[in-house]
Amino acid sequence: MRYLSTRGSTSSSRDSAGPTFTEILLGGLAPDGGLYLPESYPQVDAAELDQWRRLSYADLAFAVLAKFIDDIPPADLKALVTRTYAPRVYCNGRSETQASEITPLRWLERPNAARGEGGLAILELSNGPTLAFKDMAMQLLGNLFEYVLARRGEQINILGATSGDTGSSAEYAMRGKAGVHVFMLSPHQRMSAFQRAQMYSLQDENIHNIAVRGTFDDAQDVVKAVSSDHAFKARYKIGAVNSINWARVAAQLVYYFKGYFAATGGNDQRVAFAVPSGNFGNICAGHIARMMGLPIGRLVLATNENDVLDEFFRTGFYRPRATSETHATSSPSMDISKASNFERFVFDLLGRDPAMIRELWAEVDAGHGFDLSGTPYFASLPDFGFVSGSSTHADRLATIRHAFASWGVMVDTHTADGLKVGSELRTPDMPMIVLETALPAKFEATIVEALGRKPQRPAGLQGIEDLPQRVEVIDVDVDAVKQIIERELR
């Protein structure tokens, strides 16, 4: 399996073919500023789906990832995924027997064909160490990094940006890893107190937290600017763990397959997935799973008040917002107005034309956005299964209350966005599976506002906000970040 850039670069350090998985694993962005994708998507037929249906999560992860990774020996890859997707990693106070499914499906309303009801379910993805779905990919990424670095005798310095959950997931996955330092940018005072505490309370010498006085988009722009300085990137061995890293997206493919198998009894049925969306990485994995042949009838994209992506799927107009126009909301991990992974989907939408991607993203970088309405590309959007909607703070409160009163289920604010939009866009012919984003404990203040009670926390995270915190606050400044990296790596 070889990889290409959405902006056209396919050269490899080894030959004229595109790079392999391990060649792109540590780098993040392609040299031309594009994002990596497979040269073609491997296909899965009904017979293979039947075989996969009976697999454990770890075995399913191996089966899916082996289609994208052919430069790690199969026995080594199998060992990596088995160590990653172990019940002890995803138990969060539950017994290992309870945690054995890794991503259990919880039915809120079971399908009833006689009444024309497709069913409504939540796929639990937040039982990892940081209580967020990001753990599903980040734990694997940590093990992959350590394996590849040891094999090469190299080190890496990870530079990333987080809107709330990626940062803690990355830091918990990388803490103590040999040959790895993490420099994580976050928007100052724009995450929940719990999210800040999860990151800033870590005292590991290889973890460095930097809060920027701005939005997530500002932090993400700084990361891209540093990564685009090829001399600096090479000198300090800068790598990426944001969802611009292809390995993150590849790992997220697995739970789409697992969720499909849990919700259906055979491969002749389609399902819908409702996905809370900020940076487009999570739902991009669903798009790729669908392109591989998984019977996904609908991909329901749910945004909060920062509805740039919803606007595109409704109108064809993509207009990233300025910092001043990006709202601080009660689902802060989705307070994003420049969705990095969106470029991967548009690349497929445009028939994989890198010249058009370069042209469109030049407009994006100039602050103009682009308009595909009235083009054959916008007309072909239904072929990709996407529909979309948005949610507000009032909607979140109402959805949290309804879920608790109707089904005895407490959901976090982001999952509430997905549940609200997914419920509105349900169809009777297929189950609607809402992807859980985080556990309610991460957003205690809004849960208390909605329900008048605090959510439960795993025992090990009681009082985390009271721990000493270590973070450096700076203005939005590329040079300042470079100086911190240089200082810490002396």
Report the catalytic residues.
134
CA atoms of 84 and 324, how far apart (whole Å):
40
Residue in this structure with the two tokens 């994580």, named with its chain if needed:
184
Q: Quick one: 433 exposed, middle or buried, by C-beta within 10 A (0-12, 13-18, 19+)? A: buried
CA atoms of 342 and 85, how far apart (whole Å):
28
CB-based burial, 13-36: b 16+ in 10 Å, e otherwise: eeeeebbbbbbbbbbbbbeebbbb
> Whole-angstrom distance between the N-terminal and C-terminal Cα of the chain?
38
If one counts every other C-beta atom within 10 angstroms of the C-beta of residue 392, the result is 17
CA atoms of 217 and 22, how far apart (whole Å):
28
Alpha-carbon radius of gyration of the chain: 21
Tokens of 217: 């988009």
Enumerate the β-bridge partners of residue 132: 438
Enumerate the β-bridge partners of residue 296: 271
CA atoms of 36 and 30, how far apart (whole Å):
6
CA atoms of 407 and 248, how far apart (whole Å):
32
Tokens of 224: 């891209």
φ, ψ of residue 37 in degrees (nearest 5) = -145, 155
Report which secondary-structure segment, H or E, holds 64: helix 57-65
CA atoms of 38 and 2, how far apart (whole Å):
6
The SS3 of residue 95 is: coil
CA neighbor of 214 nearest in space, from 485, 477, 486, 484: 477
Residue 468 and residue 158 in contact, taking contact as beta carbons nearer than 8 Å: no
Tokens of 138: 């980040």
